[in-house]
Amino acid sequence: MDLLDKATRGERLIQGEIEALYNLPLPDLAAAAHQVRVVKTNPNVVTYLIDRNINYSNLCIIGCNFCAFYRTSRQNDAYVLSYEEVSEKVRELESVGGRRILMQGGVNPDLPFDWYLDLLRFLKSVHPGVRIDAFSPEEILGLERLTKRPAQALLEQLKAAGLDGLPGAGGEILVDEVRHRASPARIGAEDWFRILDVAQRLGLYTLASMVIGFGESYAQRALHLSRIRAQQDKAKARGDTGFSAFAMWTLQTEHTRLKGKVPGATAHEYLQQVAVARLALDNIENQQASWPTLGFKVAQTALYYGANDFGSTMLEEKVVSAASGHKRTHATEREIVREIVEAGFIPAVRDVFYNIERFVDPEAVLSQARPQNLPAS
Ligand code: SF4
């Protein structure tokens, strides 16, 4: 219990203490995490974002064992969207009031660097009010190998062409022993942090992520959190924004080569991890509750385990959906508002930096006859 007192007093836990949290009773962890959350963030409000996922291509040469989304060039359902097709999806987002896209693909050696620059320029010219958070550190590493140029030069050019943020996808567990056991060709932890660090220095939006369920130990989860926290210290010491939030979900293996080979994670473990992260990450204010993998009710519960945000609508999310056996991984604004209100909080729309854009009148949203922002396809 000393550990929980220490964390709720705002004192930093060292890595061994973070690991020890996993052995404490879940209700005690939850109470402490919620106590920290209500002090650090608006206690009555839960935020969310209206956005859209766009997967510009599913071609990828990395071949992660936990990925059911990627295709090789020999498969007939491999695709690369045209700029106009991407733009059409952005138009659908704009029609439901969204102004942010999360755009990712695979590592596709057939797309030259100029293709990405031209795509960003095209989207910014047609949709100047939409922010583009795109590409994973893995995609940037692929571009480094393709162009033989460093991330710094690539990201500077991508930013000048219209890139607003580099979401921290592919974090999983940032311990190479875990990463490479699951997927030998996966980007290593050092490169993941190196590329995120460049992005943060350039003022791009970034997010810290985690996926549990690879069979990683508590010590490895604690190490992951410690490394994220150290990166955030580094960014903040320079005066950078650093990670805007921490988001964590459970590994989905249903349609992947890892099915039956790794334990995955239960709802209990997920909630435990949400609480541990809130207590460990003393320098990251915002934490998302993740509904796509374990459902709305577990996500609602997470709002009392340290989370203060309900994520985003994620229209047309495909990567988690493919791995999970095509669970629905997008939500309507109406559904998100309903879950937040039912959990006892005031819903508010935010931007990617967690500034509140507007408080939402639940009655107005919930009285809508049917979902208003499902994707057209
Ligand atoms: S997770 Fe990303 S890098 Fe890995 S195979 Fe899938 S698309 Fe490629």
Kindly report the pTM of this predicted structure: 0.93
Name the least confident of 98-112, 116-130, 187-201, 317-331: 317-331
Using the structure block, give the residue that is written with the tokens 């949400």: 274
Residue 243 and residue 253: Cα distance in Å, rounded? 27
Tokens of 307: 């989370």
Shortest-distance atom of ligand 1 to CA 105: 7
**Other beta carbons within 10 Å of 112:** 12
pLDDT at 323 over 60: yes
Pocket of ligand 1, candidates 54, 59, 70: which has the most ligand atoms within 8 Å of its Cβ, to mutate? 70
**In the predicted structure, residue 372 carries a pLDDT above the cut 60:** no
pLDDT of residue 373 exceeding 80, the answer is no
What is the amino acid identity at position 257?
R
CA of 149 relative to ligand 1 center, distance in Å: 22
Provide the pLDDT confidence category of residue 377 given band limits of 50, 70 and 90. Answer: very low
Q: Given the structure tokens 């692929």, which residue do they identify?
A: 142
Closest atom of ligand 1 relative to the 69 alpha carbon = 6
To the nearest whole number, what is the mean pLDDT of the chain? 93
Average pLDDT over residues 310-322: 73
Render pLDDT for 123-160 as a digit per residue (tens, 0 to 9): 999 999 999 999 999 999 999 999 999 999 999 999 99
In the reported structure, the alpha carbon of residue 117 is separated from the centroid of ligand 1 by a whole-number distance in angstroms of 21
The arithmetic mean of pLDDT across residues 174-198, rounded, is 96
CB within 6 Å of ligand 1 — which residues? Answer: 60, 62-64, 67, 69-70, 106-107, 138
Query: Tell me, what's the pLDDT at 329?
Result: 66
70 CA distance to ligand 1 centroid (A)?
Answer: 6
Name the residue at shortest CA distance from atom 2 of ligand 1. Answer: 106
Residue-wise over 342-357: b if at least 16 C-beta within 10 A, else e? ebebebbbbebebeee
- Position 371 scores a pLDDT of 46
Residues 6+ apart with CB under 8 A from 286: 41, 47, 244, 245, 246, 308, 309, 354
| Confidence (pLDDT) at 367 | 82
The pLDDT score that the predictor gives to residue 327 is 65
Q: How far apart are CA 200 and CA 178, in angstroms?
A: 25
**pLDDT at res. 332:** 86
Predicted local distance difference test score (pLDDT) of residue 7 = 97
What is the position in ligand 1's atom list of the atom closest to the CA of 139? Answer: 3
Ligand 1: atom nearest CA of 66 is 1
Mutation probe of ligand 1 site: the residue of 64, 139, 172, 321 with most atoms within 8 A of C-beta? 64
What average pLDDT score do residues 309-324 get?
73
With bands split at pLDDT 50, 70 and 90, how would you rate the model's confidence at 169? confident
> pLDDT value at position 318?
63
Distance, CA 180 to ligand 1 centroid (Å)? 13
Q: Whose CA is nearest to atom 1 of ligand 1?
A: 67
pLDDT digits (tens, 9 = 90+) for 29-38: 999 999 999 9
For residue range 225-284, what is the model confidence (pLDDT) as tens digits? 999 999 999 999 999 999 999 999 999 998 899 999 999 999 999 999 999 999 999 999
**Cβ neighbours of residue 331 closer than 8 Å, sequence gap 6 or more:** 291, 296, 313, 314
Whether the CB-CB separation of 362 and 341 falls below 8 Å is answered with yes
pLDDT classification of 324: cutoffs 50, 70, 90: low
The minimum-distance atom of ligand 1 relative to the CA of 67 is 6
Could you tell me the two tokens for 187?
């980007």
Predicted confidence (pLDDT) at residue 375 exceeds the cutoff of 70: no
d(CA 106, CA 102): 14
pLDDT of 104 above 90: yes
| Residue 17 CA to ligand 1 centre (angstroms) | 33
Atom of ligand 1 nearest to the CA of 170: 1
Q: Which of 65, 73, 107 to mutate to test the pocket of ligand 1 (most atoms within 8 A of CB)?
A: 107
pLDDT, one tens digit per residue, over 75-96 is: 999 999 999 999 999 999 999 8
Report the atom number in ligand 1 closest to the C-alpha of 60.
8
Burial of 279 (0-12, 13-18, 19+ CB in 10 A): buried
- Measured by CA distance, the residue closest to atom 4 of ligand 1 is 64
Is the predicted pLDDT of residue 368 greater than 80, yes or no?
no
pLDDT at 326: 54
